[in-house]
Amino acid sequence: MNKDRQFSGIIPPVSTIFTDRGAFDEQGMATLIDFLIGAGVDGLFFLGTGGEFSQMSADERKQIAEFAVRHVNHRVPVLIGVGSTNSREAVQLSRHAAQIGADAVVAINPYYWQLTEKNLLGYYSDIAQSMALPVILYNFPALTGQDLHPALVKKLVGQHANIVGIKDTIDSVAHLREMIVTVKGEYPHFSVFCGYDDHLLNTLLLGGDGAISASANFAPQLSIEIYRAFIREDRASAAELHQTLLQLPLLYKIDSPFINVIKEACRLCGLNISTWSLPPSGPLNPQQKESIKEILNRAGLI
Protein backbone atom coordinates (compact mmCIF):
# COMPACT_ATOMS: atom_id res chain seq x y z
CA MET A 1 0.00 0.00 0.00
CA ASN A 2 1.26 3.43 -0.98
CA LYS A 3 2.09 5.34 2.19
CA ASP A 4 1.54 8.74 0.60
CA ARG A 5 -1.66 10.55 1.54
CA GLN A 6 -4.35 9.48 -0.94
CA PHE A 7 -7.19 11.93 -0.27
CA SER A 8 -7.22 15.59 0.72
CA GLY A 9 -8.99 18.88 0.03
CA ILE A 10 -12.69 19.52 -0.43
CA ILE A 11 -14.87 16.51 -1.21
CA PRO A 12 -18.62 17.26 -1.27
CA PRO A 13 -21.01 14.66 0.17
CA VAL A 14 -23.13 14.83 -2.96
CA SER A 15 -26.90 15.15 -2.73
CA THR A 16 -28.87 12.53 -4.66
CA ILE A 17 -31.32 14.11 -7.07
CA PHE A 18 -34.78 12.69 -7.68
CA THR A 19 -37.65 13.73 -9.93
CA ASP A 20 -40.77 15.21 -8.36
CA ARG A 21 -42.25 11.70 -8.57
CA GLY A 22 -39.42 10.10 -6.65
CA ALA A 23 -37.46 8.45 -9.47
CA PHE A 24 -33.68 8.82 -9.66
CA ASP A 25 -33.03 11.88 -11.83
CA GLU A 26 -29.96 11.20 -13.97
CA GLN A 27 -30.13 14.59 -15.68
CA GLY A 28 -30.36 16.47 -12.40
CA MET A 29 -27.60 14.35 -10.91
CA ALA A 30 -25.37 15.05 -13.91
CA THR A 31 -26.04 18.78 -13.52
CA LEU A 32 -24.88 18.74 -9.90
CA ILE A 33 -21.85 16.55 -10.60
CA ASP A 34 -20.68 18.72 -13.49
CA PHE A 35 -21.16 21.88 -11.43
CA LEU A 36 -19.05 20.50 -8.58
CA ILE A 37 -16.26 19.24 -10.81
CA GLY A 38 -16.24 22.57 -12.63
CA ALA A 39 -15.86 24.35 -9.30
CA GLY A 40 -12.62 22.45 -8.65
CA VAL A 41 -13.51 19.92 -5.95
CA ASP A 42 -10.95 17.27 -5.03
CA GLY A 43 -13.34 14.32 -5.18
CA LEU A 44 -17.01 13.40 -4.81
CA PHE A 45 -18.59 11.33 -2.05
CA PHE A 46 -21.85 9.67 -3.07
CA LEU A 47 -24.43 7.95 -0.86
CA GLY A 48 -23.54 9.58 2.41
CA THR A 49 -25.97 11.03 4.94
CA GLY A 50 -26.98 13.91 2.66
CA GLY A 51 -27.04 11.47 -0.25
CA GLU A 52 -29.98 9.73 1.46
CA PHE A 53 -28.41 6.27 1.61
CA SER A 54 -30.40 5.42 4.74
CA GLN A 55 -33.69 5.78 2.85
CA MET A 56 -32.64 3.45 0.00
CA SER A 57 -32.50 -0.25 -0.76
CA ALA A 58 -29.19 -1.88 -1.63
CA ASP A 59 -30.24 -2.11 -5.28
CA GLU A 60 -31.06 1.60 -5.39
CA ARG A 61 -27.67 2.40 -3.89
CA LYS A 62 -25.95 0.26 -6.51
CA GLN A 63 -27.83 2.01 -9.33
CA ILE A 64 -26.72 5.43 -8.13
CA ALA A 65 -23.14 4.29 -7.55
CA GLU A 66 -22.97 2.94 -11.09
CA PHE A 67 -24.28 6.19 -12.55
CA ALA A 68 -21.85 8.25 -10.46
CA VAL A 69 -18.79 6.30 -11.58
CA ARG A 70 -19.93 6.34 -15.19
CA HIS A 71 -20.74 10.05 -15.33
CA VAL A 72 -17.71 11.29 -13.38
CA ASN A 73 -15.58 9.22 -15.77
CA HIS A 74 -12.26 9.60 -13.90
CA ARG A 75 -12.42 13.41 -13.74
CA VAL A 76 -12.08 13.31 -9.93
CA PRO A 77 -11.92 10.46 -7.40
CA VAL A 78 -15.29 8.83 -6.66
CA LEU A 79 -16.01 7.71 -3.09
CA ILE A 80 -19.02 5.47 -2.50
CA GLY A 81 -20.84 5.15 0.82
CA VAL A 82 -21.23 1.51 1.83
CA GLY A 83 -22.16 1.67 5.52
CA SER A 84 -25.08 -0.40 6.76
CA THR A 85 -26.71 -1.80 9.86
CA ASN A 86 -25.37 -5.21 8.85
CA SER A 87 -21.94 -6.37 7.75
CA ARG A 88 -23.17 -8.57 4.91
CA GLU A 89 -24.77 -5.66 3.09
CA ALA A 90 -21.76 -3.41 3.74
CA VAL A 91 -19.45 -6.05 2.25
CA GLN A 92 -21.76 -6.56 -0.73
CA LEU A 93 -21.84 -2.81 -1.42
CA SER A 94 -18.06 -2.54 -0.99
CA ARG A 95 -17.40 -5.29 -3.49
CA HIS A 96 -19.86 -3.70 -5.90
CA ALA A 97 -18.05 -0.34 -5.60
CA ALA A 98 -14.77 -2.06 -6.43
CA GLN A 99 -16.27 -3.89 -9.39
CA ILE A 100 -17.69 -0.74 -10.99
CA GLY A 101 -14.45 1.23 -10.71
CA ALA A 102 -14.93 3.50 -7.69
CA ASP A 103 -11.80 4.97 -6.13
CA ALA A 104 -12.67 4.37 -2.47
CA VAL A 105 -15.48 3.39 -0.13
CA VAL A 106 -16.72 5.35 2.87
CA ALA A 107 -18.16 3.32 5.73
CA ILE A 108 -20.27 4.64 8.57
CA ASN A 109 -20.60 2.32 11.55
CA PRO A 110 -23.86 0.39 12.20
CA TYR A 111 -26.46 2.75 13.62
CA TYR A 112 -28.89 0.55 15.56
CA TRP A 113 -26.95 -1.59 18.03
CA GLN A 114 -24.33 -0.22 20.39
CA LEU A 115 -21.51 -2.56 19.38
CA THR A 116 -18.72 -3.82 21.60
CA GLU A 117 -15.28 -2.76 20.41
CA LYS A 118 -14.63 -6.33 19.26
CA ASN A 119 -17.73 -6.32 17.06
CA LEU A 120 -17.06 -2.81 15.75
CA LEU A 121 -13.53 -3.85 14.79
CA GLY A 122 -15.00 -6.92 13.14
CA TYR A 123 -17.44 -4.86 11.08
CA TYR A 124 -14.68 -2.67 9.66
CA SER A 125 -12.35 -5.63 9.19
CA ASP A 126 -15.01 -7.39 7.12
CA ILE A 127 -15.26 -4.34 4.85
CA ALA A 128 -11.51 -3.74 4.56
CA GLN A 129 -10.78 -7.39 3.78
CA SER A 130 -13.59 -7.77 1.25
CA MET A 131 -11.90 -5.79 -1.54
CA ALA A 132 -8.72 -3.83 -2.26
CA LEU A 133 -10.15 -0.31 -2.42
CA PRO A 134 -9.11 2.33 0.10
CA VAL A 135 -11.56 2.64 3.01
CA ILE A 136 -12.47 5.93 4.64
CA LEU A 137 -14.15 5.58 8.03
CA TYR A 138 -17.20 7.74 8.72
CA ASN A 139 -17.79 8.91 12.28
CA PHE A 140 -21.13 10.60 13.01
CA PRO A 141 -21.97 9.78 16.64
CA ALA A 142 -24.91 12.22 16.78
CA LEU A 143 -26.72 9.93 14.33
CA THR A 144 -25.16 6.50 14.95
CA GLY A 145 -25.09 6.76 18.74
CA GLN A 146 -21.52 5.45 18.89
CA ASP A 147 -18.21 7.27 18.55
CA LEU A 148 -15.24 5.98 16.58
CA HIS A 149 -12.70 7.15 19.12
CA PRO A 150 -9.08 7.80 18.08
CA ALA A 151 -7.61 4.77 19.85
CA LEU A 152 -10.02 2.47 18.01
CA VAL A 153 -9.27 4.15 14.69
CA LYS A 154 -5.53 3.81 15.29
CA LYS A 155 -6.00 0.10 15.93
CA LEU A 156 -7.94 -0.31 12.67
CA VAL A 157 -5.32 1.57 10.65
CA GLY A 158 -2.60 -0.61 12.14
CA GLN A 159 -4.49 -3.77 11.18
CA HIS A 160 -5.62 -2.81 7.66
CA ALA A 161 -3.36 -1.01 5.20
CA ASN A 162 -6.31 0.05 3.05
CA ILE A 163 -8.00 2.04 5.83
CA VAL A 164 -6.66 5.43 4.81
CA GLY A 165 -8.82 8.16 6.33
CA ILE A 166 -11.82 9.32 8.31
CA LYS A 167 -14.71 11.73 7.89
CA ASP A 168 -15.03 12.93 11.48
CA THR A 169 -18.49 14.49 11.71
CA ILE A 170 -18.48 15.59 15.30
CA ASP A 171 -18.96 19.04 16.78
CA SER A 172 -15.72 18.91 18.74
CA VAL A 173 -12.40 20.46 17.82
CA ALA A 174 -10.86 18.45 20.66
CA HIS A 175 -11.99 15.20 19.02
CA LEU A 176 -10.53 16.28 15.68
CA ARG A 177 -7.28 17.28 17.38
CA GLU A 178 -7.00 13.94 19.17
CA MET A 179 -7.76 12.07 15.94
CA ILE A 180 -4.99 13.97 14.14
CA VAL A 181 -2.45 13.62 16.95
CA THR A 182 -3.22 9.98 17.79
CA VAL A 183 -3.75 8.48 14.34
CA LYS A 184 -2.09 10.82 11.87
CA GLY A 185 0.83 11.25 14.25
CA GLU A 186 1.52 7.52 13.92
CA TYR A 187 0.39 7.14 10.29
CA PRO A 188 1.11 10.40 8.40
CA HIS A 189 -0.60 9.10 5.24
CA PHE A 190 -3.93 8.87 7.10
CA SER A 191 -6.36 11.61 6.04
CA VAL A 192 -8.56 13.38 8.58
CA PHE A 193 -11.54 15.30 7.19
CA CYS A 194 -13.99 17.31 9.23
CA GLY A 195 -17.67 16.75 8.50
CA TYR A 196 -18.93 20.08 9.81
CA ASP A 197 -18.46 23.21 7.71
CA ASP A 198 -17.41 25.41 10.60
CA HIS A 199 -14.49 23.14 11.57
CA LEU A 200 -12.64 23.37 8.25
CA LEU A 201 -10.07 25.99 9.21
CA ASN A 202 -9.40 24.47 12.63
CA THR A 203 -8.94 21.06 11.02
CA LEU A 204 -6.33 22.45 8.65
CA LEU A 205 -4.56 24.39 11.40
CA LEU A 206 -4.34 21.21 13.48
CA GLY A 207 -2.75 19.29 10.62
CA GLY A 208 -5.85 17.71 9.08
CA ASP A 209 -6.56 17.30 5.42
CA GLY A 210 -9.80 19.02 4.42
CA ALA A 211 -13.57 18.76 4.64
CA ILE A 212 -16.39 16.52 3.49
CA SER A 213 -19.20 18.87 4.43
CA ALA A 214 -22.69 19.68 3.17
CA SER A 215 -22.21 23.30 2.07
CA ALA A 216 -19.82 22.14 -0.64
CA ASN A 217 -22.92 21.08 -2.58
CA PHE A 218 -24.22 24.62 -3.06
CA ALA A 219 -21.17 26.78 -2.24
CA PRO A 220 -18.14 24.65 -3.13
CA GLN A 221 -16.09 27.68 -4.07
CA LEU A 222 -16.12 28.92 -0.47
CA SER A 223 -14.50 25.83 1.06
CA ILE A 224 -12.20 25.43 -1.94
CA GLU A 225 -10.94 29.01 -1.60
CA ILE A 226 -10.34 28.53 2.13
CA TYR A 227 -8.41 25.33 1.49
CA ARG A 228 -6.33 26.83 -1.31
CA ALA A 229 -5.57 29.97 0.69
CA PHE A 230 -4.39 27.82 3.57
CA ILE A 231 -2.17 25.68 1.33
CA ARG A 232 -0.46 28.77 -0.11
CA GLU A 233 -0.02 30.01 3.49
CA ASP A 234 -2.37 32.98 3.08
CA ARG A 235 -3.85 32.54 6.53
CA ALA A 236 -5.47 36.00 6.56
CA SER A 237 -7.57 35.24 3.48
CA ALA A 238 -8.47 31.80 4.80
CA ALA A 239 -9.63 33.29 8.10
CA GLU A 240 -11.66 36.01 6.36
CA LEU A 241 -13.42 33.51 4.10
CA HIS A 242 -14.05 31.24 7.06
CA GLN A 243 -16.18 33.96 8.66
CA THR A 244 -18.64 33.46 5.82
CA LEU A 245 -18.54 29.69 6.14
CA LEU A 246 -19.36 29.99 9.85
CA GLN A 247 -22.81 31.36 8.97
CA LEU A 248 -23.94 28.28 7.04
CA PRO A 249 -24.56 25.72 9.82
CA LEU A 250 -27.69 27.72 10.70
CA LEU A 251 -29.20 26.10 7.62
CA TYR A 252 -29.11 22.66 9.18
CA LYS A 253 -31.42 23.70 12.01
CA ILE A 254 -34.26 24.51 9.61
CA ASP A 255 -35.44 20.92 9.18
CA SER A 256 -34.49 17.38 10.15
CA PRO A 257 -33.31 15.62 8.17
CA PHE A 258 -31.82 18.65 6.43
CA ILE A 259 -31.47 16.92 3.05
CA ASN A 260 -34.21 19.08 1.54
CA VAL A 261 -32.52 22.21 2.91
CA ILE A 262 -29.31 21.42 1.02
CA LYS A 263 -31.23 20.88 -2.20
CA GLU A 264 -33.20 24.10 -1.79
CA ALA A 265 -29.91 25.94 -1.18
CA CYS A 266 -28.55 24.42 -4.40
CA ARG A 267 -31.61 25.67 -6.27
CA LEU A 268 -31.33 29.16 -4.81
CA CYS A 269 -27.64 29.26 -5.75
CA GLY A 270 -28.59 28.72 -9.39
CA LEU A 271 -28.71 24.96 -9.96
CA ASN A 272 -31.67 23.76 -12.00
CA ILE A 273 -32.43 20.63 -9.98
CA SER A 274 -35.41 19.09 -8.23
CA THR A 275 -35.51 19.50 -4.45
CA TRP A 276 -37.62 16.37 -3.87
CA SER A 277 -36.26 14.10 -1.14
CA LEU A 278 -37.03 10.53 -0.13
CA PRO A 279 -39.49 10.05 2.75
CA PRO A 280 -39.51 10.49 5.64
CA SER A 281 -37.93 13.76 4.52
CA GLY A 282 -40.80 15.98 3.41
CA PRO A 283 -41.19 19.25 1.48
CA LEU A 284 -40.22 22.56 3.03
CA ASN A 285 -42.88 25.12 3.84
CA PRO A 286 -42.68 28.73 2.58
CA GLN A 287 -41.31 30.01 5.89
CA GLN A 288 -38.49 27.46 5.83
CA LYS A 289 -37.62 28.37 2.25
CA GLU A 290 -37.51 32.03 3.19
CA SER A 291 -35.17 31.26 6.11
CA ILE A 292 -32.79 29.46 3.75
CA LYS A 293 -32.87 32.41 1.38
CA GLU A 294 -32.11 34.86 4.19
CA ILE A 295 -29.09 32.88 5.42
CA LEU A 296 -27.64 32.53 1.93
CA ASN A 297 -28.26 36.21 1.26
CA ARG A 298 -26.48 37.28 4.47
CA ALA A 299 -23.54 35.08 3.50
CA GLY A 300 -23.36 36.75 0.09
CA LEU A 301 -24.03 33.52 -1.78
CA ILE A 302 -27.11 34.77 -3.63
Binding site per annotation, positions: 212
Instruction: Report which residue type is found at 61.
Output: R
Instruction: Report which residue type is found at 238.
Output: A
Q: Is 44 helix (H, G, I), strand (E, B) or coil?
A: strand
Binding site per annotation, positions for pyruvate: 212
Identified catalytic residue from 167, 184, 263, 289: 167
Identified catalytic residue from 138, 187, 196, 227: 138
293 noted as active-site residue: no
Contact by Cβ (8 Å): 113, 142: no
- C-beta atoms surrounding 23 within 10 Å: 10
Contact by Cβ (8 Å): 26, 7: no
196 noted as active-site residue: no
Contact by Cβ (8 Å): 138, 107: yes
DSSP 208-272: --EE--GGGGT-HHHHHHHHHHHHTT-HHHHHHHHHHHTTGGGGGGSSSS-HHHHHHHHHHTT--
**Residues involved in catalysis:** 138, 167
